[in-house]
Every structure is written in structure tokens, then in C-alpha cells.
Structure 1
Amino acid sequence: MHEVLKAAQNGNLDYFLDRISDDRFLDFVLTISHQKSGDTVLHYAARHGHLQLLKFLVDNGLNIELGNFDGKRALHEAAQYGQLDCLKYILSCDVNVDSLKRADWTPLMLACTKDNLEIIQVLISKGSSLTLRNKDGWNCFHLAVREGHLPIIDYLYKQDPTIWRNVSKNGRTPLHTAAIHGHTDVVSYLLSHCQYGIDEQDSCGSTPFMDAVRVEAIDIAKLLLNKQKVRVNTEDKLGRQAIHVAAQSGAMRSINYLIHDCSVSPDVRCSSNKATALHIAAKEGHVTVMLCLLKYGADIDAIDSRGRTALHIAAGAQHADCVHVLLKNGAQCRIDDTGTSPMELAKKSNVVEIFESLENT
């Protein structure tokens, strides 16, 4: 890093005062930026909260709206890093409070990724928009929900009671986001204050309940089931229900919850290909999930729409440990609809050896 940028990062005002009498120095400062990020002395001063240096630089002709390679300005830096005094000063310079950096992020959006309500309050008091969305379709509320900062969520909601209606470009609501990030208190707040429909689906057909199950957020799954009366058998675009989603992600606690507490059958089928949760766990190599399903009586030889058993799937995916578990628990080497046996799908030596050892017994 150039010494000029280091001086700005450290808030070394004397460094600049000692050189400002040389007209060429100021011209030089105007040309200096970080090689990779394009950050200028203004970015460093704002990011690290060096207010006096920031004022000095602006008073000596530096444009407070200078952007780096991502389009970030000093205002973005002060907002993101919670530098309140610098933020207030920059806003007094008649800047664009909703200037966009790359991916259409405003200073307010960046502030909403941090736990600093006062920064957000100042930006909104200066006219920052609550409705602008970034390239992914997320607004500031969506971002605050992702971070789980309830006081900020409550403040934004009170500024605009319709803000929760935002849906991202892939169809996800803030409720989806709160669920998949495991923010139980936020999910409770959203269900109490916002009128989300039951089992709202994103572009892949996933519901907030599925997202909660995926990350083993059991408290959230229970909250959605009890308070919103969601359905455990809703299907996504691939015909999968919650138990299949849990099997794919290796969420054993969710498997236990769905079967034991929600009375979901371990053998429920995906409507698209008739696969069971055991097929899916075998494909992903989740041995503990497979053992859990078998403990609940899953049909070890259930076939999908192509006549394949979980053993076919495990062998085809070269998951030796899954093949071992299935064979140990009595899985049969049946032929699928193409006339292929699980043994013929084995390619890796450790998988082949398991089948060969079976033949020799």
C-alpha cells in the first residue's frame, strides 16, 4: 500500500499538513488509489472514522463522491463501518444519499448488514429510500432480516409497514430468509406483523418450512407449523417434500422431527421420480441420515420410477460407506429397468471391493 494511503488509513493528518504547501502533492494525492480496490484516501478516512482528515481532504479539493472500482463512495464506507460522525459530515456535503455501488447496493443497504441502528436512522432521516432493491432484488428490510437484527427490522417496518412484501428475483420473501438463517425471533416477529401466505414458494418451489428443515432450525419449523399452519407435504418444483429436502442436506435432526413429531412416512415419494428420502440420502452420501431412516422402518429396497433402489444410487455415486450400510442391513442387489445391477455401477475400487466381498461370503 502506498504511504499516502497508509497515512489516510491511520488518520495521520500531520502527514498531509506537512506536504500540502507543495501544490504538486495535492495533484499527486488525487491520482493515488489502491491497486486492487481503487480505494482513495477518502475511502480510508471514512472507513476508519478519521473525521478531521476527511474534512481536510474535502476542504482541499478532493471530491467526496469519488468512487472506487466497485463504485463505493466515502458514504458507503462510513455507513458500512458505522462511522457516525463521518457519515453525518459526508451527508452535509450534499451528496447522493442513495448512490449505488456495484450490484446496486445503497449506503442504507450496507448499513442494514450491520448492527448499528443510529446509522440507519440518520440515512433515512436524510431521505434514503426504503424501496430500492439491489441486483438480486433484496431491499434493506430483506438484508436486515438476513442478519437477524430485530431492533433494525422493527424500525424499518415502522417506517414502512409494507416493506415486508418485497420478493427477491428468485422469489424469496424475508420469511424464507429468516428461516434459512435460523433467526427464530425474527420469524416470530414476521408472523406477528406481516401477512405472509401459507407455504409461499420461491422460484424453486421451496417454502420457509423447507428452508427451516434444511438447516435443522427445528424451533422455526415448529413455529411455522403451529402458528402459520403450514403443510409438511407441500412439494417443490422437483416434487420433493420437506423430508426429501432434509435428506438431501443431511439434516438428521429434521428427519427425526418430521417422522416422530409430524408423522411423516419415511417412505413418502417425490412425485417427479418416485424417489424416497433413502434414495436421496444415498445419492448425497449421508450415512447417518440413512441409518436414521432405516431405524424408522424405511423400505430399504424401495424402487424409484426407473426401478432403482437406494443401493443402485449409492453404488452409482461411488459412496462406499453407504453401499456398506445398505448391504449390511439387507439390501438386495436387484436389477433396475435397464437391466443394470448395483454391482455394475461400482467404479471405484473400494466400492467394487464391498460387492466382491459380498459375493465371496
Structure 2
Amino acid sequence: MLEDGVRREFMCSDLYDAATSGNKYKVDNLLGYTKESVSHGLGVHCPCRLSEVTPKRNTVLHIAAGLGHIGLAEVVCSKDASLLLSENLRSETPLFCAAREGHHDMVSLIIRLAQEYGIGRDEVLGKKDNRGNTALHEAARHDHGKVAKVLMTAAPALASVVNQSDMSPLYVAAMRKSKGIVQTLIQYKDASFAGPNRKTALHAAVLQSRDITSMLLDWQPTLANICDDSNSTPLHYAASDSDIEIVKMLLGSPSSAVYLQDEHGWSPIHVAARMGHVKVIDLLIKKCPDSVEILDKQGRNFLHAGVESGRPSVAGYVRRRSGLVKLINEQDNRGNTPLHLAVLRQNSDTVFEILKAKGVQTSITNNEGRTPLDLTDRLRSSFHMIRILVALSVSGSQFSSQRQDHLKPWNAKGVHKGTEKNLTIVAVLIATIAFSVTFNVPGGYDDHGKANILNYLHLSTRRFVCGLH
């Protein structure tokens, strides 16, 4: 049992209730500053103490600060001003509680009382919690602009403090989309813009707010060129999103970010292509026409990137732009053209878009000596395999030279079952497509006046049947 006069660990219920209600007179009573006392349920009657804490180790002052009880906070500090530096389980002082809840008047009071009682406001303002956050981080995280202004007026250097995750208050405010706090923080010239993993506040802003993006670029235009730990610039982040206005802002600042490549060798145009953001691609090309020549670490242009990510819209965009059609026949380090990749990804819609392009070469061999048509034997979906096989055939794609007895059967799902049904589908598709290209036959005509397309269809059907058996 706890004896009278021994420091109590947990706060008695009456004191807790009085503190949460903000009743400073009752708290005064319970603390024994009058003749009254309170029972703690242990059969021992004695005054409550300011040293008592809740299970989270919050003191009466933590409670008063978090709830904005100005009068109670003044009474408590007059009894024991050292509570201004008291810490709970998270190493938070009462100032943190006030900042988190947005009580700017309480924040001002705590700063004033710290100075009046000789504790020092810098001592109170400089406290960090167990994650390295300051009260300014807390204000930014919860979008309390008035609290941020009070703290910045008292200690502007707080804007340069980063927590254990390398997050500055400015980064936190950008993530929170708090325009007011960002505006307050950037008034301090030495404010940190740091974020986790070497990101900056601008990396966060481009995915959150046009206004904040504009503020940060006006404040420090060079932020546009700073890379995170994956070598991604804010433009990489913006290109992955679809906000064209933010991309315009980034392109309008003095920046070489269009040409900067991340750890994979992807430039912003590669990123936009991977996401299928055609308007962003178009804007990047208009700003920097030669950006179309940027290759990633695998020697792939942005069309390769779009195709590999299954974005037929990118192939369609390239097809419609006469100056970009050359990209369709470019080979990566493995010799694959975008058409090779489209087949490998069994993306029939992308295959169709590429085949519509003027000047597309359908029988280029990769480093393995395989044409796009050869790669159909790797497809696992009978539906896509049939569509792609027929489309390539009628477009003039050829198999590479090989002995017919070396042909491997397809492993596409559903090919070995329902053979007659599959052959019927192929026949219908071939007939339909053949009819549609009657007036523009791939390969022209042979010496007997017969369309060469028949040879392609014959070979394709033969290959398909071979795969069935």
C-alpha cells in the first residue's frame, strides 16, 4: 500500500475529472491547498499531488494544455512550474499537447510562463518527442496555422529542425496540404525542406497541391532538380500523376529535370509513358523535343516503357505523331522492338496500335534471332495468342528461319482442349482480317497474281495447328 506522503504513480480519478473539466478550484482543493482531502480508494486519506500521472504519464498540466484550460494551466504552473518540462510516455511536453489540439493561446501562455518562471522559453520550445518531432512538427501535422505562427514568432529556428525520419516541418506541411503553414515557414530563409529518403517538400507538394508547388518553386526554384534516394526528381513524381498544370510549373522553372534519370534510367517521359499519361508526354516533348531520345538502362525509349506497362494509348499517340514513328522500330539492348514487348506482354490492343503505324517493321529479329511472330509461342492465353497471331500474320510479320520439325507446341491455356473450336475461331478471325485488308495487301502479290497474304495466313495457320498437336 502507498503511505501518505509517498509519491503516487497514478492520478486519482477525482483529480483527473477535475483536470479534464478545467475546474481549477476543485484541483486546488484536491491538491491539499485547502483543509479538504480526498480518498484514493486504499483507505488512506491524503492530499493529491501534482506528481501524479495518467497511464500515459500525462500530468495535470498535459491535460490542461491539451484541452485549452488556460486558468487551470496558470494555477498548476504557479504551484510547480517545472511541469512545463514534464514528459509523458512519448516524451511530449504540455506544449506538444497544446500544439496538437490547435490551442494557440495556450501555446502563447506556456511560452510566456516558461520565461516568467525562469525555465526559459528556448528550453521549452526546443524539446523533442521520442520521434524527434518538435511542437512545430505537431502543428504542421494537424494543420494548425495559428499555432505555427506563434511558434515561428517565438523560435523561427524550429523551421530548420528535422525529426528522426528526416522530415522537416515544411515537408510535413506540404504533405498535409497546409498552404497557410507553408507560407509561414518559407518566410524563414533557413527553413529546412528535407523529407524522408532524401525527398524534399517539393516532392510531396507536386502530388498534393498546385498552390504549394507554386509557393515552393518561387521560394527555391532549385528544388526542381533535387533527387531523392532513387534519383527521382519532383518532375518524375509529377509525371507519374495526371496534373498537367503542375508539370507545366516544373517545366517553367530553370530546370534540367526533363533529362534526369532515376535508378532505372527512367526519365520523366518514361514515367509518364508507364502510367499512360499521354498529355504529360506531349507536354514534355513540346518543351524538350529531344527528350524522345532518352533511353533507360535497358536501352528502351519511352514507347518501350509504355508498351511494357500495357498502355496502348501511348502506342496510339506515337502512331499518330509522324515525327515519332521511328520509335516503333527501335530496338533495346536485347534487340526487342516495342512490338516484341507487346507480344511478350500478350497485350493485343497494343499490338494492334503498333501495327497501324506507317512504316512499322514487323519482322525485325531480336538478339535471340526471334521475330515478334516467333514470340507468340510464349503466350499463355489462347484468346490473346490467336488475336496477336492473326494480326501479325496479316500485317506481314514472318517467322524466323528454322526447321519445321523444331517447332515447339504452344502452352497457351485452352489450346490443347477444344481444338475444333479454336480452329474455328482462327478461321473466322483470319477471314475477317483478310477481308479488311483486301485493298492494302501486306507484301503485295506473287508472280501468279495471288495475294501474298495467303502465304502468311497459310504459314500462320500451319504454325498454329502444329502447336495444337
Normalised TM-score (structure 1) = 0.73
CA contact (8 A) 1:180 1:214 kept: no
Matched position secondary structure for 2:280: helix
Q: Which of 169, 179, 204 is the aligned partner of 1:140?
A: 169
Contact kept in structure 2, 1:250 and 1:286, CA below 8 Å: yes
- 2:335 aligns with 307
Partner of 2:105: 85
* Match status 1:24 vs 2:40: yes
- Rounded to whole Å, the distance in 2 between the matches of 1:295 and 1:39 is 66
Question: Quick check: 1:253 aligned with 2:279?
Answer: yes
The size of the alignment, in residue pairs, is: 345
Asked whether the equivalents of residues 104 and 135 of structure 1 are also in contact (C-alpha less than 8 Å), the reply is: yes
> Which of 105, 130, 139 is equivalent to 2:159?
130
Q: Residue 354 of structure 1 aligns with which residue? A: 384
Task: Kindly report which structure 2 residues correspond to 1:266-305, keeping only aligned pairs within 5 A, or say none.
Answer: 268-296=293-321, 297-298=324-325, 299-305=327-333
State the match for 2:199 in structure 1. 172
Residue 181 (str. 1) matches residue 208 (str. 2): yes
Partner of 1:194: 220
Matched letter for residue 278 of structure 1:
L
Unpaired runs of 5+ residues, structure 1, are none
Residues 1:49 and 2:68 aligned together: yes
Sort the Cα spacing of 1:167 and 1:64 in 2 relative to 1 into closer, same or farther, 3 A: closer
Cα 1:253–1:52 shift into 2, 3 Å:
farther
Secondary structure (helix, strand or coil) at the match of 1:96 reads helix
1:108 Cα deviation after fit: 0.8
Counterparts of 1:33-48 in structure 2, within 5 Å, are 33=55, 46-48=65-67
* Per-residue deviation, 1:58: 6.8
TM normalised by structure 2 equals 0.59
- Residue 364 (structure 2) pairs with residue 337 (structure 1): no
User: What amino acid does structure 1 have at the position aligned with 2:308?
Assistant: K
Q: In structure 1, how many angstroms separate the alpha carbons of the residues matched to 2:378 and 2:68? A: 61
Deviations along 1:209-253, whole A, 9 cap, x unmatched? 333333233223323333425453333343222210212344333
CA positional deviation for 1:273: 1.1
Matched, 1:152 2:181: yes
Task: Tell me, yes or no, if the aligned pair for 1:240 and 1:271 is still in contact at 8 Å.
Answer: yes
Where does residue 433 of structure 2 map in the other structure? none
* Cα distance change of structure 1 residues 315 and 65 upon mapping to structure 2, 3 Å threshold: farther
Q: Is the 8 A contact 1:32 1:40 kept in 2?
A: yes
Cα distance in 1 for residues equivalent to 2:149 and 2:288: 47
**Within 2, Cα distance between the matches of 1:130 and 1:271?**
38
**Preserved contact between residue 221 and residue 254 of structure 2 (Cα < 8 Å):** no
CA contact (8 A) 1:213 1:221 kept: yes
- C-alpha displacement at 1:354, in angstroms? 0.9
User: Separation in 2 of the partners of 1:269 and 1:208?
Assistant: 18
SS at match of 1:285: coil
SS at match of 1:130: helix
The answer to whether the Cα contact below 8 Å between 1:333 and 1:342 also exists between their aligned partners in 2 is no
The change in CA–CA distance for 1:277 and 1:8 in structure 2 (over 3 A counts) is: farther
Q: How many angstroms apart in 2 are the aligned matches of 1:45 and 1:313?
A: 64
Pick aligned residue for 1:324 from 348, 359, 373: 348
Residues 179 and 212, structure 1, Cα contact 8 Å, conserved in 2: yes
Is the 8 Å Cα contact of residues 109 and 140 (structure 1) preserved in structure 2? yes
Shift of 1:148: 4.7
Contact 1:112 1:140 in 2 (8 A): yes
Letter in 2 for 1:12: S
Determine if contact 2:303/2:315 at 8 Å carries over to the other structure: yes
Which of 216, 233, 240 is 1:214 aligned to? 240
In the TM superposition, residue 167 of structure 1 has moved relative to its aligned partner by: 4.3
Could you tell me whether the CA contact under 8 Å between 2:348 and 2:388 is conserved in 1?
A: no
Distance 1:187 1:324, change over 3 A: same
Cα distance between partner residues in 1 of 2:382 and 2:94 = 61
**Residues 109-124 of structure 1 correspond to what in structure 2 (within 5 A)?**
109-124=137-152
Question: Which entry has the higher C-alpha Rg, 1 or 2?
Answer: 2
Distance 1:68 1:287 in 2: 56
**1-side partners of 2:282 and 2:18: how far apart?**
52
2:438 corresponds in structure 1 to none
Match of residue 12 from structure 1: 21
SS of equivalent to 1:152: helix
What secondary structure sits across from 1:243 in the alignment?
A: helix
Instruction: Tell me, yes or no, if the aligned pair for 2:265 and 2:297 is still in contact at 8 Å.
Output: yes
Q: CA–CA distance in 1 between the matches of 2:40 and 2:259?
A: 71
SS at match of 1:282: helix
Paired-residue identity, %? 21
